[in-house]
Homo-oligomer: A and B are copies of this chain.
Amino acid sequence: MTITEVSEKYDVSQDTLRYYERIGLIPRVNRNKSGVRNYTEEDCNWVEFIKCMRSAGLPIEVLIEYVGLFQKGDATIGARRELLTEQRKQLAAKMEDMKKTLERLDYKIEVYEQRVVVKERELKRSED
């Protein structure tokens, strides 16, 4: 696949794809004889995986480390598992915080609903 196709498929700009590759956030993509990137299915999977992890807020630095470990082969399986476990923990904690914020928003919205009703009654009274 070309960079255009990958960019469209995963809704990631070409510049971002090149940038991610440059900083090691995805492994290097092979080029054809004239230097043009040819994304394999595995490359695509990396793009999709990184997009997903980034959107959940995993730090770029950590993901670069993960890719680095991956490229070092099977000897790093334990380290990769540990890295993911730590990130999983942090993600779960963040979601807990967000849940509390969500509940707080719900409460605030509820209070506003009531105030809107009060406001409407006031308006109605002033019509009389």
Contact = CB atoms under 8 A, between A and B. Distances in A.
Please tell me how many copies of the chain the complex holds.
2
Q: How large is the interface on A (under 10, 10 to 19, 20 to 34, 35 or more residues)?
A: 20 to 34
B119 A55 contact: no
A105 to B, nearest CB: 4
A53 to B, nearest CB: 7
A55 B116 CA distance: 28
Interface in A35-62: 52-53, 55-57
A15 interface: no
Given A85-B109, A95-B95, 7 more contacts: A52-B104, A55-B101, A78-B119, A81-B115, A88-B109, A91-B102, A95-B102
